[in-house]
């Protein structure tokens, strides 16, 4: 009875929340408080698929849901703002019957790494995809081993596990059990040396000897081999090859595939999503066809005009890998260009730590960006970091007062790339003055 | 112009959160003074011979990686101890401190030996602890430093040679009104991690004075000073 009541109240709060705009986690929070065993009592008619990992969770889980729908299946899935336990509960509450039953063919859940054990000790888990594991911001995650340990507690609950053949860290989750792998062959953008400062597998995670790489896709993701213990990239079950960054065409297990957003990261995410859908029973051809029509969400990307100049806003998470990817995008754009960085204190804790900025490869922008703007509450710390990266003081515009930013920006030239590393909504500070 | 050599031990194994930039900051500063500076690394399995280096650096690492380093590092206990006792300049951040103590617990519950230069022990809690630290260094208590702690272990036992008096954040023994870190002869060690020297110009200067001696020259660190002043001003209830 308590269960039904919790569902009912949760649904009501969810309904009411639509009008006050606070509905992504509150209904779940309230319902879980009324019945802490709520998740355990939910009944699933279809399969549950979970996506976790350090980067690309949202895109990949949306991709999985899209592919399944394109293949005629009914799917319930959550959104980025609701990937903690209460958010997952909110999503399920919205779609379940009063008896707690979910009728869809699939439930696809993006779940924050830290919350995977708590969620999947309660919800049945058919297919579990771990995309990658890279260092996140220190305040959030401590270190990658801690996250690995957290996810490993969820792994025994998964009937099938899908892992990244190119990631030596997260692949350890498959130790002692069967798993499916996805990976990508060398591309035109693969490098012999790691392009990024953030490289979490300089040593082998098994024996701590130096880990060798044939090539890198990004950060520590690539084709690796340990000369000491033999740990190496396996032959992936789902392999992306023949990647063409111009057209977006590539192949998965030799069948032609297509993406409309051409970064190494996105080709891999797409291959991961196809691997998951095939593991769920879709034919490879159907999964690839479904993936081809997926549009990458532009929420994190926006174009506008600043005093007659084109400006591009890219929201980035407060972690080095996310910012590195935005820098990679800026590098592909034409000169002249100005990179405006907006960095505040650590989200939620307000800590003044900016050590993660020292793991971002700003060095790659030296000689590429005509001007670099340091803004946000940590503008001066950012400037110290950029000077260490090799930027000339004359190329840096430092302004920690948002009100003066627009004026200061006039000293720069070219298209402005605003890289805002902040919480959702927190970028308003910079947008207000620029728009 | 003089030539300086830095030894960065376990740069591959113990490599978290921008710690390497402490080495970069020293190198840049030496170059700013008009000197030349080279950095040599020593990885797991390679010989550690600190004699002849002007600075030895070891950074913060994942606890499992630190445990993997302990056995190797112990083989060079005599050479490291001799270098420290002989006045060699060392800068140690994060959990690398544990390598210099008596023992420390590993994440899988074993006990590893340090080189025993100091009396303390490391206790593994398994829980992540993070937070801002504001402190005054013992070599000049007029100065305030900012740093950040991210650790799963802490130190137990007496700390006879503290580096910092802590104004905000945890000391070595998790209480209040405490001290943190080690300053013994020319060895600087602290739980604080990440870009400590880029962010704390006076700490950098003190280290440089000890590295360069009579070759020391003042350099422009005004950008760093301004950044630190802004950071410290945000701790409104501290009298700095
Ligand atoms: Zn190995």
pLDDT bucket at A110, cuts 50 / 70 / 90? very high
Are A126 and A251 members of one domain? Answer: yes
Is the pLDDT at A22 greater than 80? The verdict is: no
Residue A35 domain-assigned (yes or no): no
Average pLDDT, chain B: 93
Higher pLDDT pick, A164 / A24: A164
What's residue A424's pLDDT? 46
Per the model's pLDDT, the better-predicted residue between A27 and A70 turns out to be A70
Chosen from B62, B107, B125, B196 to mutate, greatest number of chain A CBs within 10 A: B62
Antiparallel, parallel or unpaired: β B145-156 and B192-193: antiparallel
CA–CA–CA angle B11, B14, B16 (5° rounding) = 105
Residue B239 lies in a domain: no
d(CA A380, CA A17): 40
Write the residue in B12, B128, B131 that is nearest to A146 by C-beta.
B128
Pick the residue from chain A with its C-alpha nearest to B234.
A352
Using the predicted structure, report yes or no on whether residue A18 has a pLDDT greater than 90.
Answer: no
Gap from CA of A225 to ligand 1 centroid (Å): 8
- Same domain for A259 and A315, yes or no, is no
- Whether B176 has a pLDDT exceeding 60, the answer reads no
CA of A395 to the centre of ligand 1 (A): 44
Which residues in chain B touch residue A357, judged by CB atoms under 8 angstroms apart? 18
Of the candidates B97, B31, B70, the one whose C-alpha atom is nearest the C-alpha of residue B39 is: B31
pLDDT tens by residue, B64-113? 999 999 999 999 999 999 999 999 999 999 999 999 999 999 988 899 99
How far is A379 from chain B, CA to nearest CA, in Å? 8
Interface touch B131/A351, C-beta < 8 Å:
yes
Question: Tell me, what's the pLDDT at A433?
Answer: 67
List CB contacts of A195: < 8 A, sequence separation 6 or more.
Answer: A216, A218, A361, A364
The mean-pLDDT minimum among A92-106, B28-42, B166-180, B215-229 falls in B166-180
Q: How far is the CA of A212 from the centre of ligand 1 (A)?
A: 9
Q: Are residues A276 and A360 in the same domain?
A: no
Flag the least confident range among A68-77, A206-215, A299-308, B230-239: A299-308
Interval A372-397: pLDDT, tens:
999 988 999 999 999 999 999 999 99
Residue B199: pLDDT over 90? yes
Is there a domain that residue A60 lies in? Answer: yes
For CA atoms A314, A320, A321, A324, the dihedral sign is positive
pLDDT band at A426 (very low <50, low <70, confident <90, very high): low
Q: What are phi and psi of A27, to 5 degrees?
A: -60, -40
CA distance A379 to B109: 42
User: Between A230 and A11, whose confidence is greater?
Assistant: A230
Is residue B117 one of the residues assigned to a domain?
yes
Is B237 a member of any domain?
no
pLDDT tens profile A192-224: 999 888 888 999 999 999 999 999 999 999 999
DSSP H helices in A259-319: 264-279, 284-292
Residue B51 C-alpha, separation from nearest chain A C-alpha, in angstroms: 25
* Chain B residues within 8 A of A143 when measuring between CB atoms: 16, 62-63, 128, 150
The residue ranges of DSSP E strands in A12-117, in sequence order, are: 43-44, 47-52, 75-77, 101-102, 106-110
Contact criterion met (CB below 8 Å) for A251 and A240? yes
- Better pLDDT: B93 or A403: B93
- Whether B204 shows a pLDDT value over 90: the answer reads yes
Within this chain, do residues A252 and A333 fall inside the same structural domain, yes or no? no
Q: Given this model, what pLDDT does residue A394 score?
A: 92
Tell me if A9 is assigned to some domain: no
Please tell me whether residues A336 and A219 are part of one structural domain: no
Instruction: Examine the domain organization and report whether A273 and A339 are in the same domain.
Output: no
The dihedral built from the CA positions of residue A122, A127, A133 and A137, taken in this order, carries a sign that is: negative
Return the SS3 of A94. Answer: helix
Name the nearest CA neighbour of A195 among A317, A325, A316: A325
Percentage of residues of chain A with pLDDT beyond 90:
63
Domain assignment present for residue B172? The answer is yes
Contact (CB<8Å) B65/A203: yes
Of the three residues A257, A291, A325, the one that is the final residue of a domain is A291
Residue A264 sits in the same domain as residue A398: no
Q: How many CB atoms lie within 10 A of CB A99?
A: 11
Residues 6 or more apart from A268 whose CB is under 8 A from it? A56, A164, A166, A182, A183, A184, A217, A221, A240
Smallest CA–CA distance from A137 into chain B, residue: B17
**Is the Cβ pair B150, A203 closer than 8 Å?**
no
Given pLDDT bands bounded at 50, 70 and 90, which one contains residue A108?
A: very high
Q: Decide if B45 and A354 are in contact by the 8 Å CB cutoff.
A: no
CATH number for position B94:
3.40.50.880
Residue contact B194–A135, C-beta within 8 A: no
pLDDT of the residue at A421: 78
Q: Which residue of A has its CA nearest to B23?
A: A388
Supply the mean pLDDT for chain A: 90
The residue in chain B having the minimum alpha-carbon distance to the alpha carbon of residue A399 is B227
CB contact under 8 A, B193 and A355: yes
Closest to B202 measured CA to CA, from B190, B178, B219: B219
Total length of chain B: 240
Q: How many domains does chain B have?
A: 1
- Flag whether A8 is in a domain: no
A420 is a domain residue: yes
The pLDDT tens digits for B99-155 are 999 999 998 889 999 999 999 999 888 777 778 999 999 999 999 999 998 877 888
CB burial string A16-49: b at 16+ within 10 A, e below: ebeeeeebbbbbbbbbbebbeebbeebebebbbb
**What is the rounded distance in angstroms from the CA atom of residue A12 to the CA atom of residue A106?**
24
Question: Among A62-71, A103-112, A399-408, B212-221, which stretch is predicted with the lowest mean pLDDT?
Answer: A399-408
- The CATH number of residue A312's host domain is 3.90.190.20
Q: Residues A45, A140: one domain?
A: yes
For A175, other C-beta atoms within 10 Å of its C-beta total 10
Q: How many Å lie between the centroid of ligand 1 and the Cα of residue A231?
A: 5
Residue B141 included in any domain:
yes
Residue in B closest to A345 by C-alpha: B231
Asked if the structure places residue A369 within a domain, the reply is yes
Tokens of A38: 């709520």
| pLDDT at res. B201 | 97
A23 pLDDT band, cuts 50/70/90, is low
- Residue A76 C-beta-side C-alpha neighbours within 13 Å: 20
**Residue at B187 is within a domain:** yes
Per-residue confidence at A140, pLDDT binned at 50, 70, 90? low
Residue A299's pLDDT band (cuts 50, 70, 90):
low
Q: How many structural domains does chain A have? A: 2
Instruction: Tell me the shortest Cα–Cα distance from B105 to chain A, in angstroms.
Output: 16
> Å from A337 to nearest chain B CA?
24
Q: What per-residue confidence (pLDDT) applies to A139?
A: 62
* Option in B12, B25, B230 nearest A202 (CB): B12
Q: Is A282 helix (H, G, I), strand (E, B) or coil?
A: coil
Q: What is the pLDDT of residue A349?
A: 73
Rounded mean pLDDT, A21-36: 82
Per CB-CB distance under 8 Å, the chain A contacts of B194 are 138, 353, 355, 358
CA dist A183 → A152, A218, A270, B107 (Å): 21, 13, 10, 31
> What percent of chain B has a predicted confidence (pLDDT) above 90?
78
Q: What is the pLDDT of residues B35-46, one digit of tens each?
A: 999 999 999 999
Are A210 and A157 within 8 A, CB to CB? Answer: no
Mean pLDDT calculated for residue range A363-376:
94
Q: Is the pLDDT of residue A253 over 60?
A: yes
Same domain, residue pair A115 and A239: yes
**Residue A152 CA: distances (Å) to CA of A134, A178, A208, A233, A255:** 15, 14, 20, 20, 33
* CA A278 to each of CA A42, A171, A284, A286, B16: distance values in angstroms, whole numbers, following the listed order: 26, 19, 6, 9, 37
Whether residue A416 contacts residue A306, with contact meaning beta carbons closer than 8 Å, is answered with: yes
CA distance B48 to chain A (A): 16
What is the 3-class SS of B104-116, one letter each residue?
EECCCCCEEECCC
Residue B183 has pLDDT above 80, yes or no: yes
Higher pLDDT, B79 or A298: B79
CA dihedral A417, A420, A421, A427 (to 10 degrees): -170
Q: How many CA atoms lie within 13 A of A356 on its CB side?
A: 31
Angle between helices A379-389 and B21-32 (to 10 degrees): 70
Give the model confidence (pLDDT) of A266-292 as tens digits. Answer: 999 999 999 999 999 999 999 999 999
CA B190 to chain centre: 5
- In the listed set A266, A291, A316, which residue is the last one of a domain according to the structure? A291
Q: What are phi and psi of B161, to 5 degrees?
A: -130, 65
Q: What is the pLDDT of residue B154?
A: 82
* Chain B residue with the nearest C-alpha to that of A141: B128
Partner residue facing A353 (CB), from B64, B194, B227: B194
The structure tokens 């700095």 sit at B240
**Is residue B204 situated within a structural domain?**
yes
CATH code for position A223: 3.40.1190.10
Residues of B in contact with A361 (CB under 8 A): none
Cβ within 8 Å, pair B17-A138: yes
CB contact under 8 A, A380 and B24: no
- For residues A74 and A103, the answer to whether their CB atoms sit within 8 Å is yes
Whole domain around residue B83: which residue ranges? 3-232
Q: What average pLDDT does range A151-166 have in this prediction?
A: 97
CA atoms within 13 A on the CB side of A398: 19
Q: Would you say residue B169 lies in a domain?
A: yes
Which residue in B has a C-alpha nearest to residue A387's C-alpha? Answer: B223
Please give the pLDDT value at position B1: 87
A39 band by pLDDT with thresholds 50, 70 and 90: very high
Interface test with B, best of A205, A208, A363 (most B CBs within 10 A): A208
ipTM attached to this prediction: 0.94
Which residue range forms the structural domain that includes residue A137? 41-291
């Amino acid at each position: 009875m308590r269960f039904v009541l919790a569902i009912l109240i949760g649904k009501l709060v969810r309904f009411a929340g639509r009008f006050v705009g606070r509905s992504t986690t509150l209904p779940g929070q309230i319902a879980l408080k009324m019945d802490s065993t709520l998740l355990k009592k939910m009944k699933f008619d279809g399969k549950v698929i979970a996506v976790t990992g350090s980067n690309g969770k949202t895109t990949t889980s949306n991709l999985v849901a899209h592919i399944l729908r394109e293949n005629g299946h009914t799917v319930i899935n959550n959104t980025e703002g609701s990937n903690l336990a209460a958010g997952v509960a909110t999503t399920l509450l919205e779609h379940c019957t009063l008896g707690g039953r979910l009728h869809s063919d699939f439930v696809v859940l993006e779940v924050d790494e830290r919350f995977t054990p708590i969620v999947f000790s309660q919800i049945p888990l058919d297919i579990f995809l771990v995309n990658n594991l890279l260092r996140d911001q220190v305040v959030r995650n401590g270190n990658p081993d801690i996250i690995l340990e957290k996810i490993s507690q969820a792994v025994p609950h998964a009937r099938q596990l899908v892992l990244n053949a190119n990631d030596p860290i997260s692949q350890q989750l498959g130790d002692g059990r069967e798993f499916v792998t996805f990976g990508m062959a060398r591309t035109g953008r693969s490098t012999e040396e790691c392009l990024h400062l953030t490289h979490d597998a300089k040593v082998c995670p098994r024996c701590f000897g130096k880990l060798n790489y044939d090539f890198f896709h990004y950060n520590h993701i690539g084709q690796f081999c340990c000369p000491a213990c033999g740990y190496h990239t396996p032959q992936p079950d789902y392999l992306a090859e023949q990647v063409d960054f111009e057209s977006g065409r590539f192949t998965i297990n030799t069948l032609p595939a297509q993406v409309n957003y051409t970064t190494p990261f996105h080709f891999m995410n797409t291959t991961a999503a196809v691997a998951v859908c095939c593991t769920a029973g879709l034919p490879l051809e159907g999964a690839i066809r479904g993936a081809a029509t997926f549009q990458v969400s532009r929420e994190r990307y926006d174009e506008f005009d600043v005093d007659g100049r084109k400006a591009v806003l890219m929201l980035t998470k407060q972690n080095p890998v996310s910012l590195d990817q935005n820098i990679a995008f800026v590098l592909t754009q034409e000169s002249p260009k100005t990179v405006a960085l907006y960095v505040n204190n650590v989200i939620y804790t307000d800590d003044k730590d900016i050590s993660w900025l020292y793991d971002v490869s700003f060095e790659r922008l030296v000689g590429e960006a005509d001007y670099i703007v340091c803004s946000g509450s940590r503008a001066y710390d950012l400037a110290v970091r950029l000077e260490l990266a090799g930027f000339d003081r004359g190329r840096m515009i430092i302004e920690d007062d948002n009100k003066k930013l627009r004026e200061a920006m006039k000293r720069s030239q070219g298209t402005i790339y605003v890289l805002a590393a902040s919480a959702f909504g927190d970028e308003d500070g910079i947008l207000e003055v620029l728009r | 112009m003089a030539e300086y050599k830095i030894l960065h031990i376990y740069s591959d194994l113990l490599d978290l959160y921008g710690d390497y930039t402490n080495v970069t900051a020293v190198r840049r500063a030496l170059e700013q003074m008009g000197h030349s500076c080279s950095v040599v690394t020593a990885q797991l399995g390679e010989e550690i011979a600190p004699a002849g280096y002007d600075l030895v650096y070891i950074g913060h690492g994942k606890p499992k990686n630190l445990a993997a380093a302990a056995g190797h590092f112990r083989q060079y206990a005599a050479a490291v101890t001799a270098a420290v006792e002989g006045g060699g300049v060392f800068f140690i951040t994060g959990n690398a401190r544990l390598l210099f103590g008596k023992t420390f617990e590993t994440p899988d519950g074993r006990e590893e030996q340090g080189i025993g230069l100091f009396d303390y022990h490391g206790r593994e809690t398994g829980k992540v602890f993070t937070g801002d630290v504001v402190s005054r260094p013992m070599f000049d208590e007029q100065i305030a430093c900012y740093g950040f702690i991210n650790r799963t272990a802490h130190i137990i036992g007496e700390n006879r040679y503290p580096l910092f008096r802590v104004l905000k954040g945890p000391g070595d023994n998790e209480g209040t009104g405490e001290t943190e870190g080690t300053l013994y002869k020319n060895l600087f060690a602290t739980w604080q991690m990440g870009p400590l020297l880029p962010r704390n110009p006076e700490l950098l200067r003190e280290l440089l004075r000890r590295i360069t001696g009579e070759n020391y020259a003042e350099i422009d660190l005004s950008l760093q000073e301004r950044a630190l002043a802004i950071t410290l001003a945000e701790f409104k209830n501290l009298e700095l």
